[in-house]
Structure 1
Amino acid sequence: MAQWIVDYLPTWNIIRISGIAAYVLLFAGVFLGIAQGMPMAKGKPKAAMFKWHTRTTWLAFGLGLVHALTLYIDHYSPFTWGELLIPFTASVHPIGSGLGTLAFYGLVIVLLSSDLRNKLGRKWWFMFHMLSYPVFIGLLVHGMVTGTDSGNIIMRMIYVFTGLSILGITVLRGMLRERKGPEITIGPKRATSGSPSEQNWVEGFGLVGTVRPKHLK
């Protein structure tokens, strides 16, 4: 029965849709994570951006998992567990597939480190959190290289728009942080501990993760 269901699943469409949706959701999570730390983001809008930043990132992770598992049961060009888990060993598009595997591992590290932030400490958490940038870039290149829809003009526009958007908002936030200093925070504004220099260093960029302020738990 289970094999019959697998045989008749539209695996090719599931792979395409889950991959594209995971990338778009990750873009939304990264973008909202940066935007919610802007000086002008305050009150309810800031809390809403933080909430959706967390939700879209976890949804991206879930769809990425669906994408990988469907590649394993695909009828046309199935991947082995080794090709899925070991970067750059795939027989088809080894570079692009390897970047996708590394990006997925990086996303797992970012999400877990965010949940363990209190145990890791702010500096270590920040170092892991900065993996969000190579994760996003890795998935961008992965989609462009391996995606069967990457030649479509709409998909090309999506890749260009999302890439330039992350670059633009990162530069803008860096400029505003330079002027505003420690007022830029991760998540809704709350009391923090540690030296001022440590706060300045860590609170520069809020990308992806699940850092939960006390009043949001």
Structure 2
Amino acid sequence: MAQWIVDYLPTWSLIRISGIAAYLLLFAGVLLGIAQGMPAAKGKPKAVMYKWHTRTTWLAFGLGLAHALILYIDHYSPFSWSELLIPFTASVHPIGSGLGTLSFYGLVIVLLSSDLRNKLGRKWWFIFHMLSYPVFIGLLIHGFVTGSDSSNVLMRLMYVFTGLSIIGMTVLRGLMRERKGPEITIGRKPMPTEAPVERNWSEVYQFARVGVGGQEHLK
């Protein structure tokens, strides 16, 4: 019965559907992660974006795992466990498949670091979380190289659009933070405090002159 399911299951279609869906969910997760980190993102919208950032990333992980398992049972071009687990050892598209394996491992690290954020501390969490960028780039190349439908114009446009969107949002976030930075001044003395100091010294000087003149007058 199980063998019959494997033989007649549209595994190749499921491989492509799960792979594309995992990539798009990861794209949404990375985009929401960048957006919720914008200086303008505050309050409830920030909390909602963070919640969906986490959900879409975990869904991408689940579909990526299903994608790998279907590759193993595929009757058309099956992958062995070593080809799936050891990067760049696949007999078909070794570079693209290897990048997919490395990206999956990177995604696992990102998710685990998020769950262990309080124990790792902000510095190490940030370092591990920045792996989201190479993970996304690796999966983009993986899908474009290994996908049987990558020659389709719509698929190419999808990869171009998603890639440029992540780059654009990252640049925009950096520019917004740079604009916000100059507003913060440290160790700078406010100008209004300088005038009273000068005025106080002039008053002391005048008082001293009056005092000296008064003493001479008394003499």
TM-score tier after normalising by the smaller chain length: 0.7 to 0.9
Matched with 1:33 is 33
Task: State the match for 2:155 in structure 1.
Answer: 155
Name the counterpart of 1:62: 62
- In 1: Cα distance, 2:114 partner to 2:41 partner: 21
Identity of aligned residues (%): 86
- Matched letter for residue 105 of structure 2: Y
Bigger helix share: 2
Aligned residue in 1 for 2:140: 140
- By how many angstroms is 1:11 displaced? 0.3
The runs of 5 or more residues in structure 2 that have no matched partner are: 182-219
1:138-193 deviation digits (Å, cap 9, x = unpaired): 00000110001111111100000000000000011011112225xxxxxxxxxxxx
Report the equivalent of 2:76: 76
Give how far 1:109 is off. 0.3
The higher-RCO structure (CA 8 Å, 6+ apart) is 1
**Tell me, what secondary structure is at the counterpart of 2:77?**
coil
Distance (Å, rounded) in 1 between the aligned partners of 2:149 and 2:5: 26
1:179 matches 2:179? yes
Partner of 1:43: 43
The two structures, once aligned, show a CA RMSD in angstroms of 1.2
The letter for the 1-side match of 2:159 is Y
Match of 1:194 in 2: none
Residue in structure 2 matched with residue 90 of structure 1 by the alignment:
90
Q: TM-score, normalised by structure 1?
A: 0.82
- Equivalent pairs, count: 182
**In 1, Cα distance between the equivalents of 2:38 and 2:122?**
19
Tell me by how many angstroms 1:18 deviates. 0.3
The amino acid that maps onto 1:37 is G
Match of 2:195 in 1: none
Structure with higher Rg: it is 2
